Amino acid sequence: MTPAGRFLSLDDYRRQSPAQTWHALRSHPVLADLTDMQVWDLVAWVWEANTTAGALREGAALYRANCAACHGEAGRGDGVMAAALAGDTLAGFGHSTKSPADFGEPQSMLGASPALLQGKIVRGGMGTGMPYWGPIFTEEQSWALVDYLYTFQFQRSSPEAGVEPPGRVHGSLDPSVAPPGGGRR
């Protein structure tokens, strides 16, 4: 069991967007004295506690090999193939009218649950240039990728700290980005 398992099962963690977790923690009376930013730190800690150093390393390697060409090394949706996609000129990917998603954009990333992102990786974006990876990756690999995608929003407390998080992770965003309704589906 992950340390966060005491508070949130892995299933619950995967079903909830970071924005929903933020709203749940924010409304908890015990945490009333925390600033909004400190509540985001807790959200980042929940993420860190539900992944492992090994999963993040695997996710990073898979991302560099399979995703960075479109989504960019830093996740900003600006990989070498992005321009071709947006211009609808890339042969071999069908019609591709959308730019690759920008994982540095808090509104969409923090509004998306791990399960939603994993589903998109497995199924791809029909009618966009997002390939479907279901037949290529194991389920474990797809979750490692999802864990890694959140590194474009959250910083680990210490990359060398191993699996046991000391709980000093910093969310990288302004609390006002949290969608009031609690995120997308």
Nearer to ligand HEC, 15 or 120 (CB): 120
Dihedral sign for Cα 125, 126, 131, 134, please: positive
Count how many residues are written for the chain: 185
CB of 83 to ligand HEC, least distance (A): 11
CB of 27 to ligand HEC, least distance (A): 26
Q: Which residues bind ligand HEC (CB under 6 A)?
A: 66-67, 69-71, 81, 85, 93, 98, 100-101, 108, 112, 117, 120-121, 125, 128-131, 133, 145
CB of 12 to ligand HEC, least distance (A): 20
Nearer to ligand HEC, 69 or 161 (CB): 69
Give the orientation angle of helix 114-123 with respect to helix 139-149, to 10 degrees.
120
Nearer to ligand HEC, 34 or 60 (CB): 60
Nearer to ligand HEC, 52 or 66 (CB): 66
Q: How many CA atoms lie within 13 A of 106 on its CB side?
A: 15
Q: Which amino acid, 169?
A: V
CB of 37 to ligand HEC, least distance (A): 24
Nearer to ligand HEC, 6 or 185 (CB): 185
Q: Which residues contact 64 (CB under 8 A, 6 or more apart)?
A: 73
- In order, the DSSP letters of 96-154 are --SPPP-TT-HHHHHTS-HHHHHHHHHH--TTSS----TTTS-HHHHHHHHHHHGGGTE
Q: Is 149 within 8 Å of 103 (Cβ atoms)? A: yes
CB of 115 to ligand HEC, least distance (A): 11
